[in-house]
Amino acid sequence: MSRRVNRGGGNSKGPNRGNYGGNSGKGYGGGGRDDSGQKGSNSSVNKSSSYARSETEYNYNHSYDKSTHYARNDNPIVKLSRSLSNVLRHNAIKEGLKIRPDGYVKVDDLMRLPRFRGTTFEKIQQVVNENDKQRFHLFERKSEGVSTWWIRANQGHSMVGVKDLELIQITNPSEFPQVIHGTNLESWRKIESHGLSRMNRNHIHFAVGRYGDANVTSGMRASCDVFIYVNVPKAMADNVKFSRSANGVILTEGIKGILEKKYFLKVIDKYNNVLY
């Protein structure tokens, strides 16, 4: 649902609030998972895209303290985050939502789904702002006096036709001295035999360090206990393409969806025991 701007002032409060005056036009950046399933910097809308050329967009940058992230599985914010991930990455089309090629859907449309009944716009903002992996991006677009909020998952899509249009292709592997895929021992046994698979996703996900490193925002789960270090220069020499997402996740489609074991530099467990 789109609403007309109230020129009388006040702050923009999002969908279903009826007041889009004053300081409206903010965006909220936020963005992973691993092979067996699998994170950045603040994201922003690609202003060169056809969606952005005719309309003004504003982005709100925020910082996030990892020490405040929600860890309990029964936390309502965690549950909402998981529901948003499920819909925005995998099931928006199945749920009947209109989704743009860059993965954005209207927040009003999203909130009409039965699974989000009772969810407020403020709660969605909270999920976006406080998500430690910056999984999502939220922004407001104003056009001809009408204000509309949009949301997307920053990466991890499995839906046909949805592309990560904001990906930046990596051309100089020396810019990323460490590219690591986090997984677990059970998954490693399969990877050791068959290589890394993108599975049902569009890409295989990597981080630029281990979980908890200062420069790692997304791309690896805290529960990972096996770490696959990738020889990016060797892979790129064989025409394997790598990209960086808006929230700093390193992504590749591999070759036919697989990154072969010959491109692994080393594999270690959380105790630094060498597995490969």
For residue 158, tell me if it sits in a domain.
Answer: no
Residue 243 and residue 129 share a domain:
no
pLDDT digits (tens, 9 = 90+) for 214-253: 666 656 777 899 999 999 999 999 999 999 987 788 999 9
* Of the residues 97, 124, 153, the one at which a domain ends: 153
Residues 6+ apart with CB under 8 A from 107: 14, 15, 121, 124, 138, 149, 150, 151
Residue 201: the pLDDT is 80
Residue 211 and residue 108 share a domain:
no
Query: What CATH number does the domain containing 137 carry?
Result: 1.10.10.970
pLDDT digits (tens, 9 = 90+) for 7-18: 444 444 455 443
Residue 183 and residue 120 share a domain:
no
Residue 144 and residue 181 share a domain:
no
For residue 148, tell me if it sits in a domain.
Answer: yes
Distance between CA atoms of residues 238 and 235, nearest Å: 5
Distance between CA atoms of residues 99 and 151, nearest Å: 10
* Of the residues 153, 186, 209, the one at which a domain ends: 153
Sign of CA dihedral 38, 92, 203, 149: negative
Residue 230 and residue 101 share a domain:
no
- Residue 147 structural domain: 3-153
Query: What CATH number does the domain containing 222 carry?
Result: 3.20.170.30
Q: Is the pLDDT of residue 273 over 50?
A: yes
**Residue 178: other Cβ atoms inside 10 A:** 18
* Of the residues 120, 153, 186, the one at which a domain ends: 153
Band (pLDDT 50/70/90 cuts) for residue 257 is: very high
